[in-house]
Amino acid sequence: MTSEPHRPLITAEDIPPVAIVNPGGTSSFLLIGDHAGNAVPSALASLGITSDELSRHIGWDIGIADTGTMLAEQLDAVFIRQAYSRLVVDCNRSPAQPDAIAEVSDTTVIPGNLALSDDAKAERFAAIHEPYHAAIAREVARRAAAGRTTILIALHSFTPLMRALATSGDGTTATLRPWHIGILHDGGDTTFAAALLNVLTADPDLVVGDNEPYRMDLIDYTIPRHAYPDRLPYAEIEIRQDLIADHEGCRHWADRIAHALVSACAS
């Protein structure tokens, strides 16, 4: 009996795993979006969940594709973004981390991620995760060869409410997240992140998180991989999702962040 030939994870009917906006950008800022897409390869049949679920925060960082594109235009910066959903493979996780391909996300079971073989997991990393990180590495190397400065800016968004299992184990609780924007940082050269925090916290209209609503730690993968070794200045920016849920909000925050980035660079 002859087995059917293996179908590649990404075929001609699927979109490429990486989108590069404004590839000729001249700015020192290099914008990246680990979770800026929510596509699923056709071979995975939407992972067994609905399009509504994929459109939620579990599927991607809401608002970041549009905000990042507008920011790239504002700054004349390159924006490298992941086109596929974080549920297919999370590009801000290492292959060794168990949540890189989540079986459950915010109480939603992901049928297409259950009981995957090692080969199936490796194929997702090879088809999506590696090309994304290779694109970032190539751009950083190209700039270095040309004697250009790179300030790496990772763009993410976060939910206004953080749900968690109740202490009794019955149902969930929700915690309000008051921050409008957060700046994440940890190892490497944190000088730029500190300067950006100073600029943002000087605005009395903003509630700014310093390593809030998340801490940058060993769970993060992209910034440590691409910024730490050569001590590139960097910042990971988290924007609250309800603020960038529509075109007007994305435009407002792209303008606001562009001004803050330029001011921090000047300082």
Instruction: Tell me the pLDDT tens digit for each residue of 217-261.
Output: 878 999 999 999 999 999 999 999 999 999 999 999 999 999 999
Tokens of 238: 């988290």
What's the confidence (pLDDT) of residue 6? 65
pLDDT, averaged across the chain:
93
Phi, psi (rounded to 5 degrees) for 101: -130, 95
Determine contact, residues 120/7, Cβ cutoff 8 Å.
no
Q: Which residues contact 127 (CB under 8 A, 6 or more apart)?
A: 8, 9, 10, 17, 41
Residue 162: the pLDDT is 76
90/267: higher pLDDT: 90
Cα separation, 20 vs 29, whole angstroms: 14
Q: Where residue 168 falls among pLDDT bands split at 50, 70, 90?
A: very low
**Does the structure show a pLDDT above 60 at 171?**
no
58: left (phi over 0), alpha (psi -120 to 50) or beta: alpha
CATH 3.40.50.1980 fits 18-266, yes or no: no
Is pLDDT at 40 greater than 80 in this prediction? yes
Give the global pTM.
0.93
pLDDT of residue 7: 75
Which of the four pLDDT bands, split at 50, 70 and 90, describes residue 165? very low
Q: Which residue has the higher pLDDT, 216 or 198?
A: 198
Q: Which of 59-63, 95-99, 184-188 has the lowest mean pLDDT?
A: 95-99
Q: Is the pLDDT confidence value at 173 over 70?
A: no
